[in-house]
Amino acid sequence: MRLLGIILGYIGLHLLWGRKISVPYAVGLNLNGYLIFISAYLMDLLVLLLLYWAYEKTFSLRFLSLAKEKVLSFQERISKSKMVSWAKPMGKASLFLMPAIPPAGRPFMPLFLTLFFKLKYKESFFLFALGNLIGTIIWVSMWEGIITWAKILALLYR
């Protein structure tokens, strides 16, 4: 039961705040590093696919016009944000670099960058998947090292 609670907590943290919070939580509670890597990578990809699908399907319905207006106003605010001003000069490469920098970005940002740069979903998903792969490897490895060294130092200074 305890393991199930840890895993559900990890999934919940990942869906709410991303790998910035969920990976240190999972590593600190001794989940397998490979399990953390694979699940974090796949959850980010799944969230992005779900966002692409939801954006395409839901806003084609007439009765969701109010929600569409709110999302478009949110897009306007996002287009003025620091993240987009950082991404503008790089163009398509920003869809790769943003998830490759471990604490930067969330899966909803590539959706807005895809719309901002007027890219096809397949192209932006491929760039996000590659960057996310590199970023997840770096983030999980870094936290595995930090937690391992903390445990070693705790044993040495008992």
Task: Compute the radius of gyration of the chain from its Cα atoms.
Answer: 18
66: in domain:
yes
Q: Is residue 56 part of a domain?
A: yes
Report the amino acid identity of residue 22.
Answer: S
Question: Domain for residue 7, yes or no?
Answer: no
**Within-domain flag for 143:** yes
Kindly state the percentage of the chain with pLDDT values over 90: 27
> What is the number of alpha carbons within 13 Å of residue 97 lying toward its C-beta?
11
Average pLDDT for 99-118? 74
Instruction: With respect to residue 3, please indicate whether it lies within any of the assigned structural domains.
Output: no
- The verdict on residue 21 lying in a domain is no
- Rounded Cα–Cα distance for residues 124 and 117 (Å): 10
Is residue 146 one of the residues assigned to a domain?
A: yes
Winning range, highest mean pLDDT, from 61-70, 94-103, 135-144: 135-144
| Average pLDDT of the segment spanning 138-155 | 92
The domain tally of the chain equals 1
pLDDT given at position 52: 82
Name, in order, each residue with C-beta under 8 angstroms of 47's C-beta and a sequence gap of 6 or more: 15, 107
- Identify the domain containing residue 48 by its residue range: 41-156
Flag whether 17 is in a domain. no
